[in-house]
Structure 1
Amino acid sequence: MTKEKVVIGLDTSNYTTSLGVVNLQGQLIQDERILLPVKKGNLGLRQSEALFHHIKGLPLLAQRTSGYEIVAISSAIKPRPIEDSYMPVFLAAESFGKTMSNLWDVAFYGFSHQEGHIKAGLWSTGVKPSKPFLALHLSGGTTEALKVIPKDIGYEIEIIGGTTDISAGQFIDRIGVKLNLPFPAGPHLEKILENQDLQLLKGNPPISVKGNYISFSGPETHFQREIKEASNPVEIAYGVFQCVARSLYKWIDNLLKSYPSDEILFVGGVASNKIIRSYLQDKLQKRLKLYFGDGQYCSDNGVGIAVLGVESYLDHKKQLK
């Protein structure tokens, strides 16, 4: 029986060990992930701790993958697609990927974690842009506005805005952990709001946006004070998401003045939040096209890296003909 040809994609971020399996038609076969363990009350892991967990986790994910003809391995080898971009956690995906590539005598392709996010977002929406577009990368460690130029394989990315202090994800996590919620706190804060009438909740928290840059340290101080004053956790959860949503709306408005565009892609774990999505869609959908990656593929995953690997493999085969 002929085995299905697939490409394996590996990603080892600050939060998740990921393995994606995609066939040569671009269809997802497997999506395996292990969330890195964080002790209650802590705000993440040191790089050395995360790297240790990735080294333990990757063999477990590989164990779940069998019965395919693996034709290539692709890995996230750095945070961004620029020369000096580096973060120790990605050494796990790169080392493991290159080892499998050498042992099985198949091609190896390296990409950036950011390219993986963008590809996963576009793949999950079915959008295939042929012209430059804007993207917002919103995650636990990143809040960046990007001008993205599609290439034959991967993307040319220019950072055109960002945060002056903490990321949107860090802001959400710090408030959630202060409320005694597990890390990462975003999904748990969102769960607090289930079955609540959001129209009855206050939603006018302070924001700080100047030009193409955004800040969350001031809003964090505001909500830390609210927690000390024993404010309602439901009000705080809603206020935090409203703060992020309103900040992003103002930020986008500023960005479009400098970088006109008719479409924006949202990727990263924060982009999966339903309250933030709903607010931005309501405010912006008449002005431009908004592409939100499927919630499952907004957070860290190996799927986008695998899809990029498939494209690289097919391109290489084409050139050999």
Structure 2
Amino acid sequence: MASKNIYILGIESSCDDTAAAILHNGKILSNIVATQEVHQQYGGVVPELASRAHQQNIVPVVHQAIAMANIDKKDISAIAFTRGPGLMGSLLVGTSFAKSLSLGLRVPLIEVNHMQAHILAHFIEEENSKKPSFPFLALTISGGHTQIVKVSNYFEMEVIGETTDDAVGEAFDKSAKILGLPYPGGPLIDRYAQEGNPKSFPFPNPKVPDLNFSFSGFKTSVLYFIQKKTKENPDFIAENLKDICASIQFSLVRILMDKLRKAVKQTGINQIAIAGGVSANSGIRVALMEAEKLYNWKCFIPKFEYTTDNAAMIAIAGHYKFLNQDFSNFSITAEARYKF
């Protein structure tokens, strides 16, 4: 379906961010995200509250995205939406809205896998941006996922390694909670880590077979370590916060990099792209830039606004599906555990 002007409306509602974006021929015209502050007081996302907030936010967010793009809704070529994975209540809001708008505008409906979209964010048209060439390895790291994915083309992706329990983002957030930091704590660990000594306190590197990960034991080791040290010195956290955070971050990044090196060796692919919320972490970004020099890798790091949940990545995934005429029918349903 050739067209000089392809306008894709992307809608993202997998967790606690309501987002909408307009993409024109691969370039972002608008990328609106409404975050939900209500979850901070609970120390984590409350699914019921998240879905209610999506219901309140989705109409104004989509309206704002269309207005900021300076187009009419009649210009929209197709509507791409997150089918999953994610929180079922949140996904249902986005899915229902996308279906309704697609029917109303009489334009195609395109379902998108949230994790594939994180990877395809690298293909958003930006000035001076480098794009990986196929095949490449993607490290998708977030609060809910830790995966190494072999990407053969826009639509052919194979998970070759993944976490057997918790995600690395959860390891960051739970470690922060143990230290008494507010939610979400991962970015705070990153901030304090930049002023600390990463070699101050050694944490274990879990022995997990193949290219898989495990972080549950890591969280337990942090908990036991803090309990032991605060029993000896009640002010231990306050006196050593920056060094603790630096040591936690160093250890988690080391786990990720060890598996990446193994994946490169196994596959012979030395192009690495990172994706997902944790790819905003400064430690993993620095480690990848160092790996480029050390191992002759080619590393691709997305812009910060495309790392956390956003609709621009949904729109670019929708763009490539549109070119392929890969449309959805209206019987489609949200999938909380949506595999590649």
TM-score (norm 2): 0.80
Matches within 5 A, 1:127-276: 127-129=131-133, 131-150=134-153, 154-193=154-193, 196=195, 198=196, 202=200, 204-210=202-208, 211-228=210-227, 229=230, 230-231=236-237, 232-276=240-284
- Percent identity, please: 25
The one-character-per-residue Cα deviations of 1:55-76 (angstroms, maximum 9, x if unpaired) are 2221120231324122221111
Q: Could you tell me which amino acid in structure 2 is paired with residue 293 of structure 1?
A: P
Q: Does 1:50 align with 2:13?
A: no
1:77 maps to what in 2? 83
Give distance in 1, aligned partners of 2:76 and 2:130.
Answer: 25
Point out where structure 1 has 5 or more consecutive residues left out of the alignment.
81-85, 317-321
Deviation at 1:119, TM superposition (A): 1.1
Q: Could you tell me which amino acid in structure 2 is paired with residue 159 of structure 1?
A: V
Give distance in 1, aligned partners of 2:226 and 2:61.
Answer: 39
Question: Structure 1 or 2: larger strand share?
Answer: 1
Give distance in 2, aligned partners of 1:33 and 1:12.
Answer: 10
Give distance in 1, aligned partners of 2:157 and 2:81.
Answer: 18
Change beyond 3 A, Cα 1:246–1:203: farther
The one-character-per-residue Cα deviations of 1:171-219 (angstroms, maximum 9, x if unpaired) are 001111233333222222223345x2x4586264322142312221222
Give distance in 2, aligned partners of 1:237 and 1:44.
Answer: 23
Change beyond 3 A, Cα 1:285–1:111: farther
Match of 1:286 among 265, 289, 294: 294
Q: Which secondary structure does the structure 1 equivalent of 2:41 belong to?
A: coil
Of 271-280 and 173-182, deviating more is: 173-182
Query: Is 1:139–1:270's contact at 8 Å kept on the other side of the alignment?
Result: yes
Deviation at 1:10, TM superposition (A): 0.7
Query: Is 1:209–1:250's contact at 8 Å kept on the other side of the alignment?
Result: no
Give distance in 1, aligned partners of 2:191 and 2:313.
Answer: 27
Query: Is 1:205–1:239's contact at 8 Å kept on the other side of the alignment?
Result: yes
Query: Is 2:198–2:246's contact at 8 Å kept on the other side of the alignment?
Result: no
2:309 maps to what in 1? 300
Deviation at 1:167, TM superposition (A): 0.6
2:92 maps to what in 1? 91
Point out where structure 2 has 5 or more consecutive residues left out of the alignment.
231-235, 326-340
- Aligned length, in residue pairs: 301
Q: Could you tell me which amino acid in structure 1 is paired with residue 262 of structure 2?
A: N
The one-character-per-residue Cα deviations of 1:210-263 (angstroms, maximum 9, x if unpaired) are 231222122212222343323322122112211111001111122234322121
1:83 maps to what in 2? none
1:14 maps to what in 2? 15
Query: Is 1:204–1:242's contact at 8 Å kept on the other side of the alignment?
Result: no
Q: Could you tell me which amino acid in structure 1 is paired with residue 206 of structure 2?
A: S
Query: Is 2:132–2:271's contact at 8 Å kept on the other side of the alignment?
Result: no
Change beyond 3 A, Cα 1:193–1:307: same
Match of 2:320 among 296, 311, 314: 311
Give distance in 2, aligned partners of 1:127 and 1:278.
Answer: 19
1:40 maps to what in 2? 41
Change beyond 3 A, Cα 1:309–1:245: same
Deviation at 1:169, TM superposition (A): 0.3
Deviation at 1:273, TM superposition (A): 0.6
Give distance in 2, aligned partners of 1:192 and 1:199.
Answer: 10
